[in-house]
């Protein structure tokens, strides 16, 4: 029940956000004229670029965490070997 209430409390944003963007774009068009289209084009081009950069950053983080895990495993084995050797 809580999830349904939570859904309805945020469902309005699915309508409100695009509506606000349309109103803001229209007001900027009235203020700036055709120059607004250059800004909107930059925004539309920028969204996929940011998404692509985030995807690449995630790949780099995943690869570096794999390398870090291998390094930690090797160091653990070395330290375990030193402890066993020290006990003898």
What does the pLDDT profile of the chain (88 residues) look like in tens digits? 677 877 777 888 888 888 998 999 999 999 999 999 998 899 889 999 999 999 999 999 999 999 999 999 999 999 988 887 777 6
State the Rg of the chain over Cα: 27
Distances (CA, A) of 78 to 7, 19, 36, 71, 73: 52, 61, 62, 11, 9
In whole angstroms, give the CA distance from residue 67 to residue 46.
32
pTM of the model: 0.53
- Three-state SS for the chain is CHHHHHHHHHHCHHHHHHHHHHHHHHHHHHHHCCHHHHHHHHHHHHHHHHHHHHHHHHHHHHHHHHHHHHHHHHHHHHHHHHHHHHHC
């Amino acid at each position: 029940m809580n999830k349904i209430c939570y859904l309805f409390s945020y469902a309005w944003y699915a309508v409100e956000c695009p509506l606000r963007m349309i109103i803001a774009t229209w007001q900027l068009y009235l203020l700036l004229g055709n120059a607004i289209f250059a800004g909107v084009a930059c925004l539309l081009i920028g969204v996929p670029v940011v998404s692509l950069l985030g995807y690449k950053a995630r790949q780099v983080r995943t690869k570096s965490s794999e390398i870090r895990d291998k390094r930690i495993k090797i160091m653990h084995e070395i330290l375990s070997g030193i402890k066993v050797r020290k006990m003898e």
